[in-house]
Amino acid sequence: MNVPTYLDRIGYNGSLTPKAETLRSLHRAHMLTVPFENLDISLGRPIVCDEVRFLQKVVTEHRGGFCYELNGAFAALLRELGFQVTMLSARVCRDDGSEGPDFDHMTLRVDLDQTWIADVGFGDSFVEPLRLDPGLEQEQSGRRYRITESGDRFLYAATSGDAWKGQYSFDLRPRRLSEFGAMCHYQQTSPDSHFTRKRICSLATPDGRITLSDDTFIETRDAQRKERTLAAEESRAVLLERFGVDLPG
């Protein structure tokens, strides 16, 4: 891996010492520069659970990706910098209260003096990593987050208005990248996967978030939401100008 090139990709020029402040700064930089997107699926470009492919796409091609790609690439960067990183399998919470299967999502455990959950691949989520401290409420930009423990599983939840809403659950069993391969294939091929139902490109901003959902551009700034429908020829320009994504072909 070319670490300087990766750091340049995310606009980071701070400390590289494996400590909590470095992790927070790297995580934030990643969230503000590398979009969560599934555009390769509609382009018919297979996504394979391979670290080299992830790094090529995110760093060299200046693209984003979904959880396996983004957290897979970020884990590789952190390890190269000397962080102790573990891939974890997560089950995404559904609207009806049930959960998806194992490997539905990849999140990361980072062990320093304290244990942290890092996740740059869950879309509209925490911009800086969360301490794995069950029950502790952690606030970022006016939104609250917490991780609770039940048996051998942990539930990550975030506030939605005044209510808490579960986002995903996970356990602490170390996983290998290859174990996510079958679900990665499912997510990009099954008609039951929400990733095959719409195109999405979403990026955190210093005061909110921008999202392109099919042909609708949504911008949230200081909790104020605006959206507009784009003409077909506008989408490509918006992807390049607002997200830094230049699609192939």
Rounded CA gap, 151 and 169, in Å? 12
Length of the chain: 249
pLDDT digits (tens, 9 = 90+) for 77-94: 999 999 999 999 999 999
Which pTM value belongs to this model? 0.95
Which residues are within 8 A (CB) of 73 and not within 5 positions of it... i.e. 6 or more apart? Answer: 6, 51, 54, 55, 57, 58, 59, 65
195 SS3 class: helix
Q: Active-site positions?
A: 67, 105, 119
Structural domains in the chain? 3-243 (3.30.2140.20)
The distance from CA 29 to its chain's CA centroid, rounded to whole angstroms, is 12
The confidence score (pLDDT) of residue 132 equals 97
Q: What is the pLDDT of residue 247?
A: 83
pLDDT at 119: 98
Please work out, in degrees rounded to the nearest 5, the angle formed at the alpha carbon of residue 138 by the alpha carbons of 135 and 141. 155
212-247: pLDDT as tens digits: 999 999 999 887 899 999 987 899 899 999 999 988
Of 73, 35, 27, 54, which is closest to residue 199 (Cα–Cα)?
Answer: 35
Contacts of 105 (CB under 8 A, 6+ apart): 67, 89, 90, 91, 92, 121, 122, 168
Q: Which helix (H) or strand (E) holds 30?
A: helix 20-33
- Look up residue 218 and give its two tokens: 């949504």
- The pLDDT value recorded for residue 223 is 77
Q: What is the mean pLDDT of each run of 10 residues along the chain (249 residues)?
A: 96 97 98 97 94 97 96 98 98 91 97 97 95 95 92 92 91 97 96 93 95 95 89 89 86
Residue-level pLDDT at 160: 74
Buried b (16+ CB within 10 A) or exposed e, 146-183: bbeeeeeebbbbbeeeeebebbbbbeeeebebeebeeb
Q: What CA–CA distance (Å, rounded) separates 31 from 33?
A: 6
Largest Cα separation within the chain, whole Å, is 51
| pLDDT for residue 29 | 98
Amino acid at 237: A
Task: Supply the pLDDT for residue 249.
Answer: 64
Residue 162 confidence (pLDDT): 80
